[in-house]
Amino acid sequence: MLIRRRLHPVAVLCGLALLSGCTLPGQESGGSGSTGRVVSPFLNPDGTKPGLAPVTAKDERARARTLIEGLATRKRGPRTGYARDEFGEAWLDKADGVPLARNGCDTRNDLLRRDGRELRFRDGSNCVVVSMTLDDPYTGTVIDWRKQKASEVQIDHVVPLSYAWQMGASRWTDAKRQRLANDPLNLLPVQGRANSSKGDSGPASWLPPAKGVRCAYAVRFAQVAEKYALPVAAPDRKAMLEQCGG
């Protein structure tokens, strides 16, 4: 498994064409929208577009603070009774009510197809990804991934399932928990080590190592919490606001 930094193809094109204003994934663009393939969370409300572009424009950061300030807060409850199975079978294609469901491809592979570049599929399949290149939003590195070392790229639940359980999901229906677990809005393919270091932490305890994407991460966390009417811990809301200039 090779993790390396390299020139993105967009940079090569920018140089050849002598264009101004070209940006690479993870770099500030000074405006809303996308940088390369990655998309601002504000232009990706259903999570079906790839990546997590930095939120840098002044008006977008103000919008981010308004979103975050609107979240309800409560103390994080006990983890009692939590198990991954409470959110359904892992990567369930039949979780109704979320994009990409019931398309014949499990959620993990849906997300690899959404965010990966240079995709290769298992022979005879247009679903199972066996290799790809990933621009990891959390570390800012480029990962050349092969299925033989599957854990090198993991699918992060932006709002961790255990966190959601402690903030009220323990009282949800099974169907709603399955939606949260398989909703592409709540899912990002990222470097496995970064995801493992996060665990079930909220933003007060863990933020992506790549500082430029931290406000965008806070926005995505808030979008998921808002969609599912899920409160957040007060220290987490404070940390999210700080990342977006609040």
The single-letter code of the amino acid at 112 is L
* Nearest in space to 55 (alpha carbons), one of 206, 194, 164, 218: 218
Tokens of 171: 């009282």
Predicted local confidence at residue 192, as pLDDT: 98
Could you tell me the pTM of the whole model? Answer: 0.86
Predicted local confidence at residue 37, as pLDDT: 85
The single-letter code of the amino acid at 246 is G
- DSSP for the chain reads -EEE----HHHHHHHHHT-SS---TTS--SSSSEETTEE-GGG-TTS-S-S-----SHHHHHHHHHHHHTS-B------TT--GGGG-STT-TT-TTSTTTTSSS-HHHHHHHHH-EEEEE-TT-SS-EEEEEEE-TTT--EEEEEGGGGGGEEEEESS-HHHHHHTTGGGS-HHHHHHHHH-GGGEEEEEHHHHHHHTT--TTT---SSGGGHHHHHHHHHHHHHHTT--B-HHHHHHHHHHTT-
Let me know: does 146 contact 1? Beta carbons within 8 Å. yes
Let me know: does 177 contact 88? Beta carbons within 8 Å. yes
Torsion sign across C-alpha atoms 191, 183, 146, 152: positive
Predicted local confidence at residue 246, as pLDDT: 80
Q: List the pLDDT tens digit at each of the 246 positions of the chain.
A: 444 444 343 333 333 333 323 333 333 333 334 445 899 999 999 999 999 999 999 999 999 999 999 999 999 999 999 999 999 999 999 999 999 999 999 999 999 999 999 999 999 999 999 999 999 999 999 999 999 999 999 999 999 999 999 999 999 999 999 999 999 999 999 999 999 999 999 999 999 999 999 999 999 999 999 999 999 999 999 999 999 998
* Three-class secondary structure of residue 203 per DSSP: coil
